[in-house]
Amino acid sequence: MERGREEEASSAGGRGRRRVFSGMQPSGEAHLGNYLGALRQWVELQEEYECFFCVVDEHAITGEFAGEDLPARTLDLAVSFLAVGLDPERCTIFVQSDVPEHVELSWLFNSVTPLGDLERMTQFKDKSSRLESVPAGLLNYPVLQAADILLYRAEVVPVGEDQLQHLELTREIARRWNSRFGSYFPEPEALVSKAGRILGLDGDQKMSKSLDNTVGILADSEEVWARVRTAVTDPQRVKKSDPGRPEVCNVYTLHTHLTDPEKLPDIAHQCRTAQRGCVECKRILAASIDERFAPFRERAAHYRENPDEVVQILEAGAQRARGIARETMREVRGRMGLDWRTALAR
């Protein structure tokens, strides 16, 4: 059966649904920002597209990491993928390092990627400016990203706005490679997340685990409330009797993503007229988050009790991904003159 799926997926030219690739670094359990900015959209995409969702562990090693922690983080993120509703029957879930062709293609793409393009990347400039010694992997990170996407000849890539520059570089790499070795790779389109930039509970910086301004998607009711009660609100609303401004309050923005839309006009009105205090408003938000997370916790509990099931899902996903990756690399090596035995035997 797996073999049948592999062959079906390998017929890149004749496939019906458009192909999507997206990846997430293994930082352990996913958090609210990952869910609102990416995972929620991935769950919808799997219904319409042929999706490949990848735990990109080889990207994680370009920053600070501990080798002994990485396996558990990889598994925890995979559990989060499954917990939010990614379905291995509808999409392919796998770990990047299980498909060595990602690294091979990224090396080959290095040959068509100008150094100046990499040095211009905003993320590289930001991250490298904070380091005394800059690893070459940080510079080449977007080339590996291009390889991740183009290895599957994906046509659509869900991204946050901060990744648009990298996706444009992927398109440029595809163009350069195609013009040199013949048209083969699509120029993938960005599908920008409607959620926009999700600010953390500090109301200031992007929601992220490293900034400790978020809440894990598997947090229980008490943990959710403990986190949400710390959220920063409209700074002008010092006392409960001060009218608030929902349009500048990040708690309200989170309500727009998570609370029943029918309740939003009342939440905004009660805020503006100072009829409801911020603590009560945050309690409503915490309840919305808790309700959203409840099925995630239930599914995660099952997978945590059965980690072998997760490993099997990841292995089946990697097998399927490898089938496509091998076909792409056969073509790429041939066109670049690296399939020398076959060429000489002709």
> For binding to ligand SF4 (CB under 6 A), which residues are involved?
233-234, 237, 244, 246, 249, 251-252, 271, 276, 278, 281-282
SS3 label, residue 159: strand
Catalytic residue among 206, 240, 263, 282: 206
Residue 195, Cα to own-chain centre: how many angstroms? 13
Closer Cβ to ligand SF4, 251 or 313, answer by number: 251
The least CB distance from residue 244 to ligand SF4, in Å, is 3
Q: Least distance to ligand SF4 from the beta carbon of 271, Å?
A: 3
Structural element, H or E, at residue 191: strand 189-192
R_g of the chain, CA atoms, integer Å = 22
Min dist. Cβ of residue 253 to ligand SF4 (A) = 9
**Min. distance of Cβ 293 from ligand SF4 in angstroms?**
20
314 contacts 98 by C-beta, under 8 angstroms: yes
* CA gap 255, 231 in Å, rounded: 12
Q: Minimum distance from CB of 231 to ligand SF4 (Å)?
A: 7
* Cβ(279)–Cβ(229) below 8 Å: yes
Asked if 2 and 34 touch (Cβ cutoff 8 Å), the reply is: no
Judged by phi (left if over 0) then psi (alpha if -120 to 50, else beta), residue 170 lies in: alpha
Nearest to 244 by CA among 287, 293, 279: 279
Q: Give yes or no for a contact between 176 and 146, defined as CB atoms under 8 angstroms apart.
A: no
Is 183 exposed, middle or buried, given 0-12, 13-18 or 19+ CB atoms closer than 10 A?
exposed
Nearer to ligand SF4, 84 or 207 (CB): 207
Judged by CB, which is closer to ligand SF4: 127, or 229? 229
**Min separation Cβ 250 and ligand SF4, Å:** 8
Residue number, 229 or 333, with CB nearest to ligand SF4 = 229
Nearer to ligand SF4, 162 or 242 (CB): 242
Give the position of tokens 């790429």.
Answer: 332
Q: Which is nearer to ligand SF4, 121 or 278 (CB)?
A: 278
The order of strands in the sheet holding 156-159 is 91-95, 50-55, 19-24, 156-159, 189-192
**Integer Cα distance of 75 and 81 in angstroms:** 10
Q: Among the options 125, 127, 239, 282, which is catalytic?
A: 127
- Per DSSP, 339 falls in state -
Q: To the nearest whole angstrom, how small is the minimum distance from the Cβ of residue 238 to ligand SF4?
A: 11
Known catalytic membership, residue 125: no
Which one is catalytic: 125, 194, 209, 263?
A: 209
Contact between 122 and 159 under an 8 Å Cβ cutoff? The reply is no
User: In terms of CB distance, is 54 or 251 closer to ligand SF4?
Assistant: 251
Give the up-direction half-sphere exposure of residue 36: CA atoms within 13 A in the CB hemisphere: 24
263 assigned to active site: no
State the catalytic residues: 127, 206, 209
